[in-house]
Amino acid sequence: MSKNICIYASSSNQVSDELKIKCKQLAQKLAKSGYDLIYGAGNIGIMKVIADVFLENNRNVIGVIPERLNLEGIVHPNLTKLYITSDMRKRKELMENFADAFITCPGGIGTLEEFAEIFTLKQLGYHLKPIILYNVNNFFDYLIKFLYKLEIEKFMHEKTFELIKISDNPDEIVTFIRNYKKPKLKLKWM
């Protein structure tokens, strides 16, 4: 069973309360199911909401942040462990190494970039860990349509969608992680 869940999410405090509530519900389900959190160490936005839930449920919360962002008010003060990296690339690498699964919650361009990289790494066979796109309130519908267009236009293998789970249901997400079986990956060049 996967234990450490890496969650990518927004650092914006301006996002809707409804999105925060939905992400909080997912975090509660994960924390109550015995998972620990790996995330970007933020004390702002959806990142804070998620971290607070794991902490309230006495779960480990490991934050990873680059030196440049290690600022008072930005970093959550109650982390179980904080890792400070030299840059964003090292941050993502450390998070990837610690994590047993990845969930992308609503977020901006940074969140999108994190999702794209971890998805690409799985497609290339660098890891075979579960990846979930939390499509709460249809937040990622345009991204999903774009990914399907990539598949239709042959920029992406037709089986690439099998490498990720798209869901808006916390119970379904926990069940997917719990029962995950590594795929037999065939690289697109083979």
Q: Which domain holds residue 64?
A: 4-177
- Confidence band of 179 (pLDDT split at 50, 70, 90): very high
Instruction: Assess if residue 22 is contained within a domain.
Output: yes
Query: Under DSSP, is residue 77 helix (H, G, I), strand (E, B) or coil?
Result: coil
- Answer whether residue 182 is part of any domain: no
| Closest to 37 in 3D by CA, of 22, 24, 54 | 54
| Domain of residue 64, CATH code | 3.40.50.450
- Decide if 189 is inside a domain: no
Query: Would residue 136 count as lying in a domain?
Result: yes
Please tell me the total count of domains within the chain.
Answer: 1
- This prediction's pTM: 0.95
Asked if the structure places residue 46 within a domain, the reply is yes
Beta bridge partners of 61: 37
| Cα–Cα distance measured from residue 11 to residue 75, given in angstroms and rounded to the nearest whole number | 11
What pLDDT, in 10s, does the model give residues 118-158? 999 999 889 999 999 999 999 999 999 999 999 889 888 87
Nearest CA to 30 out of 181, 132, 106, 135 is that of 132
